[in-house]
Amino acid sequence: MQFKATMMDAAGVLRAITRITHEILEHNKGAESLAIVGIHTRGIPLAKRIADRIAQLEGIVVPTGKLDITLYRDDLWEIGLQPIVRQTEIEFSMAGRQVILVDDVLYTGRTVRAGLDALIDLGRPKNIQLAVLVDRGHRELPIRADYVGKNLPTARLEVVKVRLTETDGGHDVVELWERE
């Protein structure tokens, strides 16, 4: 794979998260009844950062959760290597909640579809909204994000690599690479 460009640096990621947080608060008129659920793997630290920001801005602690969608994927027979099932940790009740689902990259939309199924199997939230750091286009399902850090039109051959301190060490960065 060939590196092409840095699309967001650490400062850019920080600004995006700040803006997304403000948009969430604006759209939902505050933090009441919100819950933030991150999709494994990088959705989880992003969800936590948003929740922390909300705590700073509104003084409210919004419940967070972790969602593993492995058992809901629609491509389990294609991937060859057996995916490891990881922890889903949702300690709050879904009833009456406005759940913000968080992931790093929105691409075909299949991961989010699996996330929606997984969430709904856990209960009936009042609504589900989607926040992503990067939307790279090429949707294969009618799914859209409510909050987007950066819109990044890409070619199918390209790969968007997101690295976050919590999961990958070092600085946050969003890079564009190309497959040979």
Chain residues binding other proteins by CB under 8 A are 68, 70-72, 76-77, 79-88, 117, 121-123
Residue number, 38 or 149, with CB nearest to other proteins = 38
CB of 176 to other proteins, least distance (A): 29
CB of 177 to other proteins, least distance (A): 25
CB of 2 closer than 8 Å to CB of 177: yes
CB of 83 to other proteins, least distance (A): 7
Residue number, 87 or 169, with CB nearest to other proteins = 87
CA angle 66, 114, 92 (to 5 degrees): 35
CB of 72 to other proteins, least distance (A): 6
CB of 120 closer than 8 Å to CB of 91: no
Residue number, 114 or 133, with CB nearest to other proteins = 114
Q: Which of 133, 139, 126 is nearest to 160 (CA)?
A: 133
For residues 167 and 163, give the distance between their C-alpha atoms in angstroms, rounded to a whole number.
7
For residues 161 and 105, give the distance between their C-alpha atoms in angstroms, rounded to a whole number.
9
